[in-house]
Amino acid sequence: MKRILKFSAILAIFVFGIAATQSPSTDKYFEILKNIEIFTNLYREVNTYYVDDLDPGKLMRTGIDAMMESLDPYTNYISESDIEGYRFMTEGKYSGIGAMSKKMGDYVTITELYKDNSADKAGLRPGDQIIAVDGQSAKGKKPEDVNNIMRGFPGTEVELTIRRPGEKSERKVKLVREEVNVPNVPYSGMVSDKVGYVALSTFTRDAGRNVANAFKKLKEATPDMNGLIFDLRGNGGGLLNEAVNICNIFIPKGQIVVTTKGKVKDWDRSFKTLNPSMDEKIPVVILIDKNSASASEIVSGVLQDYDRAVLLGQRSYGKGLVQNTRDIGYNSKVKMTTAKYYIPSQRCIQSVEYEEGEPVDIPDAKRAKFTTRNGRTVLDGGGIAPDMEVDPHGESAIIKSLMRQNILFDYVTDYCLKNDSIAAINDYHFEDYDDFLTFLNDRSFAYDSESEKLLKKLKKESSKEGFSLTSEIEMLEKKVQTAKEGELKKYKDDIIDLIEKEIASRYYYQIGKIKMGLRNDKEIKEAVSLFGDLDKYNKLLANTK
């Protein structure tokens, strides 16, 4: 009780401290104090009289998370146990075993290994289920809960009990935690005789320097390089200063990159390029998709506003908000939105509506118009629209279902049990599609298409309303089923591409997956083709009105 009253008093002092420094209306701070008192009284009553014993930390975390979720998807509480995950997002490194995981069924399953890190050296494999950690059952645990246990101080040990597909007995593996450093530029190279390629996975520390170094090496190795593909697909962003540094590679010193504007006017800032550029002439194509967000959208949007690069792919996510972290005691932090950012055309790309944490598509007619340096029309809100739109890969219902049900992952796990090795990436081709179809039959793979979902809804609603549409609906269902049976044939090439990438990742890690993906990537092919037609490239960047 004394601790609750002390907590309430500290909060009151904190609130009055804010009131003294910012001098807003007295009514607002009375309302804050009133609700703090209500909160502490509620917490005291529930803690004292609720029928079961409560975990104070868990109960408070539920309240804090609910409060944060009512604001926007990017304002979060970071507890002491979450710090390693936060460190990974900002620095690209953490202390742990060097493995990615996902919950499949009752257990968290390893999905990818970082080469030469602890999990890899200990012989773990993708597909291994984590049954227990340090003797404590992991059944039903969330991936973040398991990861929090596996992360810790470098040099300390953790024991995993794993169940490996194809083996009857479980095995125990001891691993030593270590510093895991995940490169933010996982691959760079030439995708044709004169077209270079650089992939950036996240805007962690030194991202700008690493991209610049990769670009420099490509130019030195291929002096007649006539185009660069910069891949930001799936890149969720990161550090703002690294976005500025990357823009500076292609645009000169002293150019505005982004302006931040928020409630605290003293914090509003404009960020400019600080150094001479590396190359202001070479044609650049930036690849973006629906998962390119935040700093990725700054870079792509800025180079679009300056007509410095052609954007190719799909409309980006639409995250135009700036987050800052503040310490709140006990080695915990709050990451909160403090401003919106505006790129050189003065547009803000922030999506203004969300459903379940995902941005809602905003029709172009409702988006404000702005212009690039050359006078091209660009729109604000709802992400960055590409200059060349390419249909997204893997958006069909059947591929989504194969991914959601982990069918492709499980098939490749089974494939690897039968094959100790594969040929080099350039020489390997998956040619046993019939074996994959047999695997699907054995797994009794089934999925509902969007059409089937609508027909089920129609059947239910028409029955409620007394309409006799049974025969008509059954006829439509048969037609849909016939069409579905051809889906595995229709999307054969796309499915094989996904299988090949997953197989490559098992034998050649992340770099193998990237190289395999480049071989079949239609967006890469479109970009290479564009560099071969500079008239088209220049026309896309010109104001043709």
6-15, 96-105, 368-377, 492-501: least confidently modelled range: 6-15
For residue 80, being part of any structural domain is answered with no
Beta bridge partners of 259: 270, 342
Tally the domains of the chain: 4
Return d(Cα 302, Cα 293) in angstroms, integer.
Answer: 13
pLDDT in tens, 455-473: 778 778 777 777 777 787 7
Return d(Cα 118, Cα 127) in angstroms, integer.
Answer: 17
Beta carbons within 10 angstroms of residue 431's beta carbon: 8
Identify whether residues 175 and 191 lie together within a single domain: no
Task: Judge contact between 351 and 382, C-beta under 8 A.
Answer: yes
pLDDT in tens, 59-99: 888 888 888 888 877 788 877 666 655 555 555 557 789 99
Residue where one domain finishes, among candidates 131, 149, 181: 181
Return d(Cα 326, Cα 333) in angstroms, integer.
Answer: 5
11-15, 246-250, 316-320, 450-454: least confidently modelled range: 11-15
Identify whether residues 31 and 157 lie together within a single domain: no
For residue 251, being part of any structural domain is answered with yes
Return d(Cα 406, Cα 400) in angstroms, integer.
Answer: 10
For residue 67, being part of any structural domain is answered with no
Task: Judge contact between 201 and 186, C-beta under 8 A.
Answer: yes
In angstroms, what CA-CA distances link 543 with 255, 298, 315, 378, 538? 21, 22, 21, 11, 10
Residue where one domain finishes, among candidates 346, 367, 390: 390
Identify whether residues 162 and 197 lie together within a single domain: no
Quick one: three-class SS letters along 36-68? Answer: HHHHHHHHHHHHHHCCCCCCHHHHHHHHHHHHH
pLDDT in tens, 346-357: 999 887 666 665
Task: Judge contact between 346 and 371, C-beta under 8 A.
Answer: no
For residue 457, being part of any structural domain is answered with no
Q: pTM score, two decimals?
A: 0.81
Q: Which residues contact 105 (CB under 8 A, 6 or more apart)?
A: none
Structure tokens belonging to residue 274: 């600080």
Residue range 524-532: mean pLDDT, rounded = 96
pLDDT of residue 87: 55
Identify whether residues 406 and 375 lie together within a single domain: no
pLDDT in tens, 281-314: 999 999 999 999 999 999 999 999 999 999 999 9
Return d(Cα 160, Cα 131) in angstroms, integer.
Answer: 7
Beta carbons within 10 angstroms of residue 354's beta carbon: 12
Identify whether residues 275 and 340 lie together within a single domain: yes
Beta carbons within 10 angstroms of residue 58's beta carbon: 8
Identify whether residues 353 and 428 lie together within a single domain: no
pLDDT in tens, 359-399: 677 778 878 899 999 999 999 888 899 999 998 766 788 89
Identify whether residues 311 and 436 lie together within a single domain: no
Return d(Cα 203, Cα 238) in angstroms, integer.
Answer: 4
**Does 176 score more than 50 pLDDT?**
yes
Percent of the chain with pLDDT over 70: 89
Identify whether residues 317 and 238 lie together within a single domain: yes
For residue 517, being part of any structural domain is answered with yes
Beta bridge partners of 378: 370
Q: Which domain holds residue 435?
A: 397-447+491-524
For residue 536, being part of any structural domain is answered with no
For residue 470, being part of any structural domain is answered with no
Identify whether residues 227 and 360 lie together within a single domain: yes
Counting Cα atoms < 13 Å in the Cβ hemisphere of 293 gives 17
Residue 332 burial (CB < 10 Å; 0-12/13-18/19+)?
middle
Residue range 516-528: mean pLDDT, rounded = 93
Sign of torsion over alpha carbons 111, 120, 505, 100: positive
Residue where one domain finishes, among candidates 181, 197, 223: 181
Identify whether residues 280 and 332 lie together within a single domain: yes
For residue 86, being part of any structural domain is answered with no
Residue range 252-276: mean pLDDT, rounded = 92
Helix, strand or coil for residue 222? coil
The highest-confidence range among 193-202, 315-324, 437-446, by mean pLDDT, is 193-202
Residue 353 is part of a domain; what is its CATH number? 3.90.226.10
Identify whether residues 302 and 193 lie together within a single domain: yes
Identify whether residues 98 and 217 lie together within a single domain: no
Amino acid (one-letter) located at 202: T
* Residue appearing with tokens 């972290």: 325
First to last CA, the chain: 71
